[in-house]
Amino acid sequence: MPTTPPAFTGLSAFPLTPADEAGRVDTDALQRLLSRVVEAKTNSIGLLGSTGTYMYLSREERRRAVEAAVECVGGKLPLIVGVGTLRTDDAVALARDAAAAGAHALLLAPVSYTPLTEEEAFRHFEAVAAATDLPLSIYNNPSTTHFSFSEALIGRLAGLANVSAVKMPLPKGGDFSGEIARLRAATPANFAIGYSGDWECPHALLAGADCWYSVVAGLFPKPALALTRAAISGNAEETARLDTSFHPLWQLFKTHGSLRVVYAAANLMGITKAQPPRPVLPLGSEAVRDIEAAISLLKD
């Protein structure tokens, strides 16, 4: 039986992709972010996810980002690369670019202006999964794509060669155990189930999820890794204790959106001066003061 790809287990850190106003990636700043993650020894890196603003970058700049990441990471950690885009042929090309540059796995969101049917989403994933030999994770992110995967569709996709994992949003009502059980019943034994939505992901791990796809780990990999390990070990008390220091940051994520918050935090930490891609605007001074106070609680 095939084993679960290690890229889709444990803690996957999703960093920013710093770029200038014209959308040219600052590879030096990107490598500074990645070096922190490599030093912390998370389980994988998620490049060009939503926090990595993949939809705001050209194919050329995405390729430059992957090449810079591969150069920095040097095979020390598995590198998952997001390849979502509007057209299927373009997503296939992005997948091939990532594979040629040295990525270890792919992440695909069904991005579309016209709402997709389940059959359209399936055919999209079928084409991209067949484009390379890399394991691929389904990116179920209805808040940005406006497409929500049914459990039946996830089960169908899990039958495709190379489709090895799913990155889920937080379940309604917080029923991680129930949702994970249903997904396990619909997918092969080696299929990995992970979650994003940082403020609830420790609970997902306690409930038996395979992976935390983490925004905060892109900036604070060491405390995020400690929290991950406590949750995976089933130590609810230690998980709650470690999670407390993140609570002010979680609240800011909910209030302002994690993307705006991590840009401000990265600026405060001196890692990059890059701002969010327009039309997303940087946060004002009052919010930045709150972010500074929140990140002071995290020992990295």
Q: Is 51 annotated as a binding residue?
A: yes
Kindly tell me if the per-residue pLDDT of 225 is higher than 90. Answer: yes
Residue 56 annotated to the active site = no
Domains, in order of start, for the chain: 6-235 (3.20.20.70)
Whole-number pLDDT of residue 250: 98
Question: How many CA atoms are closer than 13 Å to the CA of 158, on its beta-carbon side?
Answer: 23
| Catalytic choice (41, 56, 76, 139) | 139
Q: Which residues, 6 or more positions from 9, have their beta carbon under 8 angstroms from its beta carbon? A: 43, 192, 194, 210, 211
Residue 167 annotated to the active site = yes
Peptide bond into 279 cis (omega under 30): yes
Q: Which residues, 6 or more positions from 51, have their beta carbon under 8 angstroms from its beta carbon? A: 14, 15, 16, 215, 218, 258, 259, 262
- Give the tens place of pLDDT for each residue, 256-297: 999 999 999 999 999 999 999 999 999 999 999 999 999 999
Helices (H), 74-150: 88-101, 118-129, 142-145
Encoding tokens for residue 245? 């220091």
**Residue 73's pLDDT band (cuts 50, 70, 90):** very high
Cα–Cα distance between 202 and 227 in angstroms, integer?
A: 7
Does this model's pTM top 0.85? My answer is: yes
| Catalytic choice (167, 195, 213, 263) | 167
